[in-house]
Amino acid sequence: MQIKWLKDFLALSSERNFRLAAQQRNVSQPAFSRRIQALETWVGTPLIDRGGQPVQLTEAGKLLLPAAQKIVDLTVSVQLDIKTQIQDDRDRIRFATLSTLAQIFIPSWLKGLRNFVNVNQIVVKTEFDTIDEYFSVLDENTVDFFICYEDPSHRFHEDESAFSSLKLGEETLVPVVRPASDGSPLWRLSDSYNGQIPCLHTLSSRSPSPIRHHMESRYGNLQFKSVYESSIAPTLKAMAIEGFGLAWIPKAHIIDDLAAGRLVRAGGASDDIHVEIRIFRSLKHSEPRAGKFWTALLQNGVDQGG
């Protein structure tokens, strides 16, 4: 059975005339009659009483009529939904990023781009664990862009033939801990500290965060132990306030906590990590939505340096 047979049947039930129904369906009358006959063959009984004018539905035809209407309405609705979903997917801009950036950077950043590009259809994915996974989904076109923190002295990706990047901004990550009863930090990033420092960051060698590289390159004489792993700044801050360990947290996110004494610095300004916020795209793919968005970034004065 074909949907077009049901549409023919509905047209005939409305017009009650083979010639007019054929015209409505934009087919020749002989072809239209053959399709009505094919539907009757499929049902197994006549649907049309051809004995007079206008033609009438048989009892079987009357039974089929409401069901045929429902089936046709459903197929039209499904077709429209699919077309709409496909179009939405074509227009949707897909990002991969760290949870912290998804929460404290991307919303205000996208708001600032509203005058330059449509940012009303956005997907943000944060479920990846390693830098390799982030670049893999970018390379496979699972996402259009990857936004991350990057230490300018330790680039994640140097292959400019595969990926292009732009600097969106800068951030300072500050090492903080809960204060002791006398107001001093529970743990210190100093040469004189001999104990093990509980750390609230992953120590994975392929972490997308620049913190591990900073720890290894600056504090070879200190012992760190990862006691909690998260890339969500509010969670890290809450754990640090409760005294679980040390965390490098975006400066803007802890100003009030430092002022109120809920957190204190675990080191001096030289222990801060000055990072860039960068956006990457794969040069293998050229979807119009990604190209248009990238052009908007360039027109909006985003730094191409790197």
CA distance 187 to 194: 10
Q: Please, what is the Cα angle at 225 between 238 and 208, to 5 degrees?
A: 70
* Residue 123: CB atoms within 10 Å: 12
pLDDT above 70 for 171? yes
8: tokens are 């023919």
**Mean pLDDT along residues 169-195:** 89
Q: What count of residues does the chain have?
A: 306
Q: What pLDDT is attached to residue 216?
A: 82
Nearest alpha carbon to residue 281 among 271, 295, 263, 266: 295
Quick one: tokens of 94? 């897909």
Of all residues in the chain, what percent carry a pLDDT higher than 70?
A: 90
Set out the domains of the chain in order of their start, with CATH numbers.
3-89 (1.10.10.10), 93-299 (3.40.190.290)
Task: Kindly indicate the confidence band of residue 114, based on its pLDDT and cuts at 50, 70 and 90.
Answer: confident
- The stretches of the chain forming alpha helices (DSSP H) are 3-15, 18-24, 29-43, 59-91, 99-104, 106-111, 131-139, 211-218, 233-241, 255-260, 288-299
Q: What is the pLDDT of residues 188-216, one digit of tens each?
A: 998 767 778 999 876 666 677 788 888 88
Distances (CA, A) of 287 to 91, 146, 166, 276, 293: 10, 15, 18, 26, 10
SS3 222: coil
How does pLDDT run across 15-49, given as a tens digit for each residue? 999 999 999 999 999 999 999 999 999 999 999 99
Phi-psi region of 290 (alpha: psi -120 to 50; beta: other; left: phi over 0): alpha
In this predicted structure, the answer to whether residue 89 has a pLDDT above a threshold of 90 is no
Phi, psi of 36 (to 5 degrees): -65, -40
Q: What is the pLDDT of residues 244-274, one digit of tens each?
A: 999 999 998 999 999 999 999 999 999 999 9
Mean pLDDT, the chain, rounded, equals 86
Q: What pLDDT is stored for residue 277 in this prediction?
A: 93
Say whether pLDDT at 109 is over 80: yes
CB atoms within 10 A of CB 42: 10
> In the structure, what pLDDT confidence band is assigned to residue 303 with cuts at 50, 70 and 90?
low
**Nearest CA among 274, 287, 230, 256 for reference residue 89:** 287
